[in-house]
Amino acid sequence: MRDLRARCDWDRAQTHESLRPYLIEEAYEVDEAIQHAVRDGTPAADATLRDELGDLLLQVLFHSVVAEERGAFALHDVAHALVTKMRARHPHLYPPAGGAPVESKGWEALKAKKRKSIDEGLPEALPSLHKAHRLQDRAAGVGFDWPDAQGPADKIAEELAEVREELAKAPPAQLAHGLLVSDHRHAALEAELGDLLFSVVNLCRKVGVHASIALDKANAKFADRFGAVEKLAAQRGIDVNTAGLEQLDELWDEIKRERRES
């Protein structure tokens, strides 16, 4: 990377700011490659994951060299900071010099002592499902958590009932067209739906499921099934744009039955 910065016009022109879009893109490509590697389990999928991890590593190297040129820090400082952090996260495995191993109280509990607020350090652009999960993780790390999954499951039922109450206040005709009686009514419904989503994320977290991964898989399943509905409709000369819910729902159920039986 130092050589590229010295001899390549494009690499030399890059800054931390100009590299931001590439870092974000590479992170998403790694995430997609992981999904394929887990789902497919093929050498080709693993090779893609390997290559994408290399591209992400390139971004770490790139930023480190740019920082080195500014006199800020170098790659070895990045590695040292990481090692220091991992040791601090595992005091039961890496006790202080001359000390004895200490009982681990969990990383969130350790970090909570240093934070000024529960959301300190969480990126503003972090996707909402991820942020909800992390906020709940942090709260659980200091003991603010349900003892088991029944608590968040009950909370979902409670929040759903509150959503239904808000829905009942708006005329069905307006709801059907995405219109609400007033901005106040819309804000109230939005708030209740937000509480419901947050509760669902909490249940996911409590049973060891990450909501964003679960939703990714649900999205993929829906897209695949609806694609099959569209294909079946085309084979039977049915126009999906005018078929209506009842007919499309019959095709949907047919696809589901076929896939359960196969």
Q: Is 180 exposed, middle or buried (0-12, 13-18, 19+ CB in 10 A)?
A: buried
Instruction: Quote the mean pLDDT of the chain.
Output: 89
**Residue 86 pLDDT > 70:** yes
pLDDT at 168 > cutoff 90: no
Q: So what's the pLDDT on residue 171?
A: 64
- What is the arithmetic mean of pLDDT over 137-143? 90
Angstrom distances, CA of residue 232 to CA of 60, 149, 226, 249 = 47, 40, 10, 12
Three-state SS across 143-173?
Answer: CCCCCCCHHHHHHHHHHHHHHHHHHHCCCHH
pLDDT interval class at 172 (50, 70, 90): low
Instruction: Give the largest Cα separation in the chain, rounded.
Output: 78
Q: What is the pLDDT of residue 79?
A: 97
Residue boundaries of the structural domains of the chain: 2-111, 214-261
Average of pLDDT values for 38-58? 96
Residue 102 has pLDDT above 80, yes or no: no
Give dist(CA 39, CA 45) in Å, integer.
9
Q: What is residue 121's predicted lDDT score, i.e. its pLDDT?
A: 84
Q: Give the 3-state secondary structure of residue 96.
A: coil
Residue 218: count other Cβ atoms within 10 Å of its Cβ. 10
Q: pLDDT digits over 235-260, tens only?
A: 999 999 999 999 999 999 999 998 88
At 262 the pLDDT is 56
Superfamily of chain region 2-111: MazG-like (1.10.287.1080)
d(CA 176, CA 160): 19
Handedness of CA 153, 154, 157, 161 (dihedral sign): negative
User: CA-to-CA distance for 44 and 46, rounded, in angstroms?
Assistant: 5
Q: For 36-46, what is the mean pLDDT?
A: 94
1: Cβ contacts below 8 Å, ≥ 6 apart: 11, 58, 61, 62, 64, 65
